[in-house]
Amino acid sequence: MALTDQAFIQYSRQILLADVGEHGQNIFSQSHVLIIGVGGLGNLAAQYLAAAGVGQITLVDGDTIERSNLPRQLLFSVEDLGSNKAQVAAEKLMQAYPDSHINSLQHYLTLDNAPEIFNARQQFSLLLDCSDNFSTRQLINQLAIEHQVTLVSASAANFQGQLLSVNQQLRPDTGCYHCLYPSDMGVSQSCQTVGVLGPMVGTLASMQALMSLNLLLSLNAKADQRQVSGRQTQVDDQPLLGQLYRFDGAKFTWRQAKLTRDPDCLVCSA
Ligand SMILES: [Zn+2]
């Protein structure tokens, strides 16, 4: 599909990239990204994806905007206090980036309402975990595995940030979020209990958005190639999948490790 002149100008700096080009820009515009949580991570990740021309984004959050959110959740201002996060973010993003259609679901993700989101008509290109609590992270991981959607999960608290990706079809050897953190494990750190600086969350959200755009390109490019050649995707084709990245925002160090599957995992080995 040919881009309009206006789109060509607007996205020219990313179209210039050999890995994007017009083809990649079309991939972005045809993608639908589901974002769970519209706090500090979801604000910036959604903004970068909408700004890049991702055609459809669904935001899910039942939370209302509070004054203590403003240092990290940069789409929001004092006039928005008390309003729903998904709704306000969707309105502001659609105004700024009209190429992107933003849906807002103004409730928390639960096991009960998950079928409404992951119904048969929805084909999500990616699922972004931007939530702020351990039980929601486990649920998101479970839904990603069940519905075969690539998961990009980010978190930040104190000066520690973490980013990982899960795709059981292409990288079954690397397991899932539950392999890394079994649900009976106590993970209590969150920004509410230990505090966090805005740019710390922003760093992880930017990395999450960057990883997402890279994955949209590589997953779709490989799907195109597979259709032509009939070959299976090789592990080397997807270097970002199944990796865990940890950032220390006090020492400014990044660490990377390959995720490993737990053969007894209740979620991905069932
Ligand atoms: Zn697992």
The predicted structure's pLDDT at residue 227: 61
Residue 255 pLDDT greater than 90, yes or no: yes
What was the pLDDT predicted at 267?
A: 95
Please give the distance, rounded to the nearest whole angstrom, from the Cα atom of residue 141 to the centre of ligand 1: 9
CA 261 – ligand 1 centroid, Å: 6
Residue 269's pLDDT is 87
- Distance (angstroms) between ligand 1 centre and the Cα of 207 equals 23
Q: Report pLDDT digits (tens) over 49-58.
A: 999 999 999 9
Check residue 194 and give its pLDDT. 86
Q: Which residues are catalytic?
A: 191
- List pLDDT tens digits, range 182-205: 877 766 666 677 899 999 999 999
Strands of the sheet with 32-36, listed across from one edge? 101-105, 56-60, 32-36, 126-129, 151-157, 160-166, 243-248, 253-258
pTM recorded for the entire structure = 0.94
pLDDT of residue 121: 60
- Give the pLDDT mean for 121-127: 87
| Distance between Cα 3 and ligand 1 center (Å) | 40
CA distance 19 to 54: 16
Q: What average pLDDT does range 141-160 have in this prediction?
A: 96
The confidence score (pLDDT) of residue 186 equals 65
259 — phi, psi (to 5°)?
-70, 150
Sorted by where each starts, the structural domains of the chain and their CATH numbers stand as 31-258 (3.40.50.720)
> Tell me, what's the pLDDT at 231?
54
- For ligand 1, the distance from its centroid to the CA atom of residue 135, given in whole angstroms, is 15
The pLDDT tens digits for 159-171 are: 999 999 999 999 9
Compute, in angstroms, the gap from residue 172 CA to the centroid of ligand 1: 9
Share of the chain above pLDDT 90, in %: 83
